[in-house]
Amino acid sequence: MTELATVPAQTALQFEVGSPDWWLRRLHRELALRQPQLDLFDAYYRGDHPLPWLAPQARSEFRRILQMARANVMGLVVDAIAERIALEGFRLPGQQDADADMWSIWKANNLDEDFDKAVLESLIGGTAYTLVQPNNTDTPDIFIEHASQAIIGYAPGSNRRRKVAGLKLWADDWTGTICATLDLRDWLFKFESDMPKAGPIDPARVQWRPRRVRGESWPARNPLGDVALTELPNNPRLLTGGVSELADVIDIQDRINKTLADRLITQDFGAFPQKWATGYPDDGDDEPFDVGRDRLVATDVAETKFGQWDAAPLDPYSMAKREDQKDIAARKRIPAQYLAGDMTNVNGETLKASESGLVSVARQKMRPLGGGAVDTMILVRRAANLPPADARMESIFRNPEFRTEGETTDAAVKQLQSGMRDLRAAREFVGISQTEIAQMEERESSMDPVAAQIARQFQAGIGMTGANPAAAGNG
């Protein structure tokens, strides 16, 4: 990931503002500037944290212990949210059902699985991207892009709404070149440059040249007429965009690691408490006696006294770790059972209340992520020659609440009977996928009308008690 990263030198200013060369160098510089933060957050998510601080004279002696003193709470913070965000379809304005054409394209690009990666990378690094690529078929290509290789330029003063440029950058290990595709809405400019023989890549010193692709003109016309990249931000800020989920808890993770290091060092010294002796005869040996659990130390000198210092208590270290975990739980609204790993005498209502904060966080993150997915599918419909759609399109996510099957079904039936939800909405609430719902509706549509009416009445809770008495008497 770091092969494209560097702290860039002063940006070249000899290019006209808004020109392809100006955009290429500007966006490449912004990619390089964000790279150290992306590497930092990625390392913390993987558990590759810096070693806890220790006095320099002691680091070599306790290096083995320091390697063990890293508890990866950051991975838990991200995964606890990511596992509750699952996109299941798209709904067009005025439609009750999920759109089958869009979901077919989505699944053809394996995004029913790969979108989970986009959510994960967005939570870790603060943002991820989708890239729509027309391919002269009715199933355009959709790719998930990492924030280290893709970036969007927005018009000044547009509150990050109007895209004017996009850059996809990658290193081609086969040819030893750096490749870039600059998207200026109507035109695609493709560039390449040789990888430096040594040292990092400096965006201000890269010598770009046109990258010729067989069968394409240079620049190539963009059939979408818009920037093909779409941002999937996490916790987007008005001026700076997405923010990593780990940005404000890394320091707490470092405190936990330091506490663990101190505890392990204390354990190492306290495994055999230090012994002392007074009045022991000196026979010239460097070590007058060898202490062990299976050895007895004795002497004929009556004045000799033996003893040992008390073992250092470990409870304060455990308490300090728990307090730091509470700080993370409070800041990220992670249920206590996720961090502590134990539950005692907890009923269902208490468990549901403890997870309400995490559910709320997941719902909040679905809005910007779902908005990015909708913007992506607007481009996809254009590339697939489907009727145009606008931002009123809706993304459908799975319910982020974890409930028992019986509890969820009971709630759905009661809402259906009371008229709060129709049958499709109740099925979505239970967690049935859009594909399964469509199959169920197709089977129901082929039923005999009288049998279907009876089934609907039964599902709505009418049953025989709701039958017309007159009709029953006439029968």
Q: For every residue of the chain, which 3-state class applies, written as one string?
A: CHHHCCCCCCCCCCCCCCCHHHHHHHHHHHHHHHHHHHHHHHHHHHCCCCCCCCCHHHHCCCHHHHHHCCCCHHHHHHHHHHCCCCEEEEECCCCCCCCHHHHHHHHHCCHHHHHHHHHHHHHHHCEEEEEEECCCCCCCEEEEECCCCEEEEECCCCCCCCEEEEEEEEEECCCCEEEEEEECCCEEEEEEEECCCCCCCCCCCCCCEECCCCCCCCCEECCCCCCCEEEEECCCECCCECCCCCCCCHHHHHHHHHHHHHHHHHHHHHCCCCEEEECCCCCCCCCCCCCCCCCCCCCCCCCCEEEECCCCCCHHHHHHHHHHHHHHHHHHCCCHHHHHCCCCCCCHHHHHHHCHHHHHHHHHHHHHHHHHHHHHHHHHHHHCCCCCCCCCCEEEECCCCCCCHHHHHHHHHHHHHHCCCCHHHHHHHHCCCHHHHHHHHHHHHCCCHHHHHHHHHHHCCCCHHHCCHHHHHHC
pLDDT at 392: 86
Answer yes or no: do 48 and 188 share one domain: yes
Lowest mean pLDDT among 185-199, 233-247, 393-407, 436-450: 436-450
Answer yes or no: do 238 and 361 share one domain: yes
Q: Tell me, yes or no, whether 222 lies in a domain.
A: yes
Answer yes or no: do 344 and 435 share one domain: no
Lowest mean pLDDT among 77-81, 107-111, 279-283, 372-376: 279-283
Answer yes or no: do 445 and 392 share one domain: no
Burial class from Cβ neighbours inside 10 Å (0-12, 13-18, 19+) for residue 300 reads exposed
Answer yes or no: do 110 and 226 share one domain: yes
Average pLDDT, integer, range 294-304: 73
Answer yes or no: do 119 and 208 share one domain: yes
Q: Tell me, yes or no, whether 247 lies in a domain.
A: yes
Answer yes or no: do 177 and 38 share one domain: yes
C-beta atoms surrounding 407 within 10 Å = 12
> What average pLDDT does the structure give for the chain?
83
Last residue within a domain, chosen from 348, 372, 402: 402
Q: Tell me, yes or no, whether 193 lies in a domain.
A: yes
Q: Tell me, yes or no, whether 55 lies in a domain.
A: yes
Lowest mean pLDDT among 115-124, 247-256, 260-269, 384-393: 260-269
Number of domains in the chain: 3
Q: Tell me, yes or no, whether 334 lies in a domain.
A: yes
Answer yes or no: do 186 and 323 share one domain: yes
Q: Tell me, yes or no, whether 471 lies in a domain.
A: no
Answer yes or no: do 382 and 460 share one domain: no
Reply yes or no on whether the pLDDT at 131 is more than 90.
yes
Q: Check residues 56 and 71 and name the one with the higher pLDDT.
A: 71
pTM, full prediction:
0.79
Q: Check residues 56 and 35 and name the one with the higher pLDDT.
A: 35
Question: Given pLDDT bands bounded at 50, 70 and 90, which one contains residue 267?
Answer: confident
Question: Given pLDDT bands bounded at 50, 70 and 90, which one contains residue 272?
Answer: low
Reply yes or no on whether the pLDDT at 6 is more than 50.
no
pLDDT at 462: 52
Answer yes or no: do 118 and 185 share one domain: yes
Average pLDDT, integer, range 99-119: 93
Question: Given pLDDT bands bounded at 50, 70 and 90, which one contains residue 466?
Answer: very low
Q: Tell me, yes or no, whether 269 lies in a domain.
A: yes
CA 180-110-189 angle, 5° bins: 15
pLDDT at 233: 96
Average pLDDT, integer, range 351-370: 89
Last residue within a domain, chosen from 374, 402, 430: 402
Nearest to 232 by CA among 142, 300, 155, 164: 142
Q: What is the pLDDT of residues 331-344, one digit of tens each?
A: 999 887 787 766 65
Answer yes or no: do 190 and 298 share one domain: no
Reply yes or no on whether the pLDDT at 258 is more than 70.
yes
Answer yes or no: do 153 and 252 share one domain: yes
Q: Tell me, yes or no, whether 409 lies in a domain.
A: yes
Question: Given pLDDT bands bounded at 50, 70 and 90, which one contains residue 5?
Answer: very low
Reply yes or no on whether the pLDDT at 295 is more than 70.
no
Give residue for tokens 């067009």.
92
Q: Which domain holds residue 290?
A: 275-308
Burial class from Cβ neighbours inside 10 Å (0-12, 13-18, 19+) for residue 249 reads buried
